[in-house]
Structure 1
């Protein structure tokens, strides 16, 4: 789901490293739940019960903090999505597990978080990169299922292009605007459509 360098999120070292790591996780959870455009560094410090100096120890600015937190959100999601995928062996179940896991990982994120992502280019780029990586993963799963005879013969490149287009529309909030669906709900519906269309 994600293709993000491990160097893109803070790696606290030295004394107090564990606390700073915990603080970064708390920051990530806060931004995912409530968004970030309306929050100042003073707000974040107050909500996290720390000083602004401590936050500057994680990143040099609010913008850098936000981007690092977005990277962390998708990194954690990717680990759990891939774990869900690894637990399945049958092609249709693997595809379903992947998309449902993506939906489950996006579910805790608020609409405000996704709206703020769309409006903040450095964070939007992270989401876009993850979306395209996820689309490639779906293409791989379709290719595996088709080769194994579990899926109907389809033009895989065309199917992948359609899927990518839908996933990008979800990421850019266009599906939400057109349908009222959350990103998580949209992925759940995409999973159902794919499975009904591909399985023999």
Structure 2
């Protein structure tokens, strides 16, 4: 790992642990035993380092999703596992993005645009695979399905002001909403997989 890569990764860890506003260039330099001059020579300014550290954060999450996906016997279960992992880290992601939007709006807008495009590509590939495997009906509008899935998941994971019925947790609401979405586009085989997956999940609780 190069010095630049090491700085980016350590900065990412500091942002997750301490929060974006709290981490200063002085803190990063001290933590890594490098000079501030080195940081500015490598990255130009704090916004550039923040951007790269956040890219590192999202790429780390993506690698975790890929590792989870290896366990999935089909694309439907892969979707559930990935979305559950998104939910697991939603509080950290939400906090970091809110701070970025407030204090570094240009970095926030760039990351949001790139992340949305990447997530849509991933969902498109998985929905297309599901159709090819006979798990999703073949006459759905994939782009509309991606939009509904993306914004439905985001409403639960990224918004604190969403009102949920009394007695239902965010995780339970997320599972119900996502499974309802998939039921709406699934074939009989897909519905069977959903029922079996949710039963196993409930048995593990």
Per the TM superposition, whether the score is higher than 0.5 is yes
CA distance in 2, matches of 1:192, 1:152: 20
CA distance in 2, matches of 1:155, 1:187: 27
How many Å apart are 1:46 and its aligned residue? 3.5
CA distance in 1, matches of 2:32, 2:128: 45
How many Å apart are 1:20 and its aligned residue? 4.8
Quick check: 1:176 aligned with 2:160?
Answer: yes
Partner residue, 1:118: 101
The structure with higher relative contact order (CA 8 Å, sep 6+) is 1
CA distance in 1, matches of 2:171, 2:132: 24
CA distance in 2, matches of 1:189, 1:148: 28
What is the aligned length? Answer: 177
CA distance in 2, matches of 1:191, 1:158: 20
CA distance in 1, matches of 2:93, 2:135: 36
CA distance in 1, matches of 2:27, 2:121: 38
TM-score, normalised relative to structure 2: 0.67
Any stretches of 5+ residues in structure 1 without a counterpart?
1-16
Any stretches of 5+ residues in structure 2 without a counterpart?
184-190, 192-205
Radius of gyration: which is bigger? 2
CA distance in 1, matches of 2:79, 2:148: 16
Partner residue, 2:151: 165
Contact 2:29 2:36 (8 Å CA) reproduced: yes
